A and B are shown apart, each in its own frame.
Chain A
Amino acid sequence: MARHRHRYRHRLAAEALALAALLPLPPAAAEEGAPRRVVSLNVCTDQLAMLIAGEGQLHSVSYMAQLPEASMLHEEAARYPVNHGLAEEVFLMQPDLVLTGTFTTRATTALLRRLGFRIEEFPPETSFDDVRENMLRLGRLLGRDARAAELVAALDRGLAGGAAGATGKLVATYSANSYTSGGGSLAGAVIEAAGLKNLGARLGIAGAGYLSLESLVLANPDLVAVDGREYDAPALAVENFVHPAFRRVAGDTKLVNVPARSWLCGGPFNLEAVRILRAAAEGTGR
């Protein structure tokens, strides 16, 4: 058993290195006929576009791409001008392709369509199949199929190692306002890939749902995954993190800090969340 684990960890480390190596690589030029001025309005499409787009193809990303709370590629994003998702801003940039998520403001999207811009909407990912599909589709749209395929392959390699040596421990994600991720969510898929069981899924929650403190306490999961950054500024939403019952159940040994940005959007960087969970489950640090 121990040898399997060692092999897996080495493989994952190698993938992480490769991933890191892929990023600063100056992208090759795009194909002819591909969009030359792409504007992304959604933090998830921002990150995928930064990874996939060719030199000079991506013109602007949303301001959230530069926030460490929301974006894995926040340092990368500093190179691009930001937008705030306002139609006027976008209009002035005169893009030939606009990337949005399906939850981007309806009014803005409708207005931009009326103004004649090409809009491509990307639904939020709830599984790794969705992640692959979004990456490949973006690759097609940008005329960068080869690059997209490369990233999908890297993701697959990273995921393949995860299932081996599954510890089967129970993990619950817990965020502001007592929300958890159940089955059919990206976080749920990450948990599965890490070889762990998801309390939210077990309780029959689909997508994101309310997990009462009582249920969390009684289930007594092996790990509780929270975003450590969340409880800095005071708000009622994060009051439960200091509730005595929560503290007893999610003591220091059980609390795992999984930054929200690592599984908020789908992409190769989700492997970081998988790595963190795996390491916590094996009890070898965070």
Chain B
Amino acid sequence: MRLDLKSLTVELGGRRVLDDVTLSIGEGEFVGLVGPNGAGKSTLLKAIVGLLPAGGEIALGGEAARSLSARETGRRLSYLAQEREIAWPVPVEDLVMLGRAARLPSFARPGPQDAAAVARAMRRMEVEALARRPATELSGGEKARVLIARALAQETPLLLADEPTAALDPAHQIALMRVFADLAGEGGAVVACLHDLGLAARWCTRIVLLDAGRIIADGAPLDALTPERLRSVYGVEALFADRDGPVVHPLDLAGRTPG
């Protein structure tokens, strides 16, 4: 399913947070959305979900997002918010099952298909052992993985994730990147906001660099993340290498290292 953004503009509190963003994402892409704090990455995802009023056009699978019902939108995309809110001590299994909500009619109970999807998602995120534990009693990392499992259980063509690797240890961070890459390989599309340039460069098929609400760069990781761009956008000097794939690692603030 294609995601098409045309001249997307968002104003919040009189400030232009997103300015004339045009972007198309297709099947099989794992897009890393990167940029400094305040660049508008979260806002972009929220606008796509429909949580913010936006100027311009958003199309999901060729249809205008505005014309879709909330339920229909929930069938086409899943969203992992930056706020990891869990209001009640719901067992993990039931929480992940919430991801199936968009597919089920109002009073229907989950069926075997839903149970299978939940099991798959929990296996992918390695939280099967926590199935009956109240979600609020988990550690930060476990909670994060459970919430990602919920988004995976939705099994939508498009997955939008806002800082999914926050609170995860390195092993789980990499495991998650693998999961996203696999999803893209299976024909889905993933857009993830990432702060970690190394992860983004190594695992994403495409990088979109945002700064002050505008797209600065859009392309393959090493095409988008050049030393000059890192200097001008992030203000950092980075190490570029290749170890079975791109390695990008910020070293120090720009203008500090000699040469």
**A adjacent to B, CB under 8 Å:** no
Q: Which A positions have Cβ atoms within 8 angstroms of B?
A: none
